[in-house]
């Protein structure tokens, strides 16, 4: 059986190696996250400006639209299948269909953001 002093030194060496390894892993994960962050910001900013442009076009057209806060993707669509929200209504204008498509795209973007932020 090794001497108590050798056991203590070995225990400290192993703890240092494990902690050092954990710190290195955490630093590597942080570095990867930091490398991806600028692209995520660019993508989110690009999506934001697309949504702003679409909303401005909708406002210029003067079409009755939805509340812009519903475009955040935080509220899932609760419409019933086969209802007017699915595009089966023959009296829906192309502009209204485009607004619905834009809202769905914004919802998908919101879902994507939540998935990216999930642990």
Could you please report the per-residue DSSP string of 23-89? HHHHHHHHHHHHHHHHHHHHHHHHHHHHHHHHHHHHHHHT-----GGGGGS-S---PPTTSGGGT--
**pLDDT at residue number 69:** 52
pLDDT digits (tens, 9 = 90+) for 85-109: 444 566 778 888 888 888 888 888 8
Provide Rg for the chain, Cα atoms: 26
**pLDDT at residue number 12:** 73
Enter the pTM of the model: 0.34
Q: Distance between CA 61 and CA 64 in Å, rounded? A: 9
Which has the higher per-residue pLDDT, 5 or 79? Answer: 5
Q: Which residues contact 87 (CB under 8 A, 6 or more apart)?
A: 97, 100
- Whole-number mean pLDDT of the chain? 75
Share of the chain above pLDDT 90, in %: 7
pLDDT digits (tens, 9 = 90+) for 53-74: 999 888 888 765 555 555 444 4
**pLDDT at residue number 77:** 45
Cβ-contact 85, 77 below 8 angstroms: yes
């Amino acid at each position: 059986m090794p001497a108590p002093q050798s056991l203590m030194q070995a225990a400290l060496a192993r703890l240092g190696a494990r902690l050092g390894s954990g710190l290195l892993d955490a630093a590597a994960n942080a570095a990867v996250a930091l490398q991806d962050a600028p692209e995520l910001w660019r993508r989110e900013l690009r999506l934001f400006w697309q949504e702003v442009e679409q909303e401005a076009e909708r406002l210029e057209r003067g079409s009755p639209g939805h509340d812009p806060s519903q475009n955040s993707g935080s509220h899932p669509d609760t419409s019933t299948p086969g209802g007017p929200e699915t595009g089966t209504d023959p009296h829906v204008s192309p502009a209204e269909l485009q607004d619905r498509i834009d809202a769905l795209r914004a919802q998908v973007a919101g879902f994507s953001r939540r998935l990216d932020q999930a642990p």
